[in-house]
Amino acid sequence: MRTGSTPRDFDALRELQAEDVRLDLVNRTRLAGRKDVSVYFNRYDQVSDWRLSPGLAEGRPALLVSDPADAADAVGYVVLLDWAEGRIAAIRDFPHATYVMESLGVSRLW
């Protein structure tokens, strides 16, 4: 994962996934189960036109996605994470539904 200059560590995120993790790539795809959802991170690892920072979206844990070329570092969309027993239970990723940003309250944790 990239947060500022921190290297991407998708293997660590895969390890955090629950066996029955669910993925909702809003307006595109739904997957379930650790094996199928693990490939999701491969797609993020193959491109570099984003930066992730930890934050909150309407008070929920989220990854805030911005364009590293944007000097204003505006949040383009969010990835919501639901946790259960210390594991990622669900991922809701909004890259194809950026309209939700119009009314979504977000804040960076750093």
Identify whether 92 is part of a domain. Answer: yes
And the tokens for 33?
Answer: 């189960």
Identify whether 69 is part of a domain. Answer: yes
For residues 31 and 93, is the Cβ–Cβ distance under 8 A? no
Identify whether 57 is part of a domain. Answer: yes
Identify whether 80 is part of a domain. Answer: yes
- Which amino acid does the sequence have at 58? E
What domain range is 42 assigned to?
Answer: 10-102
**What does the pLDDT look like over 44-103, one tens digit per residue?**
777 778 888 899 999 999 999 999 999 998 999 999 999 999 999 999 999 888 889 999
What CATH number should be reported for the domain holding residue 71? 3.10.450.50
Identify whether 107 is part of a domain. Answer: no
Determine the pLDDT at residue 4. 42
Identify whether 87 is part of a domain. Answer: yes
Query: For the chain, how many structural domains are there in total?
Result: 1
Other C-beta atoms within 10 Å of 43: how many? 11
Determine the pLDDT at residue 96. 86
Identify whether 26 is part of a domain. Answer: yes
Identify whether 61 is part of a domain. Answer: yes
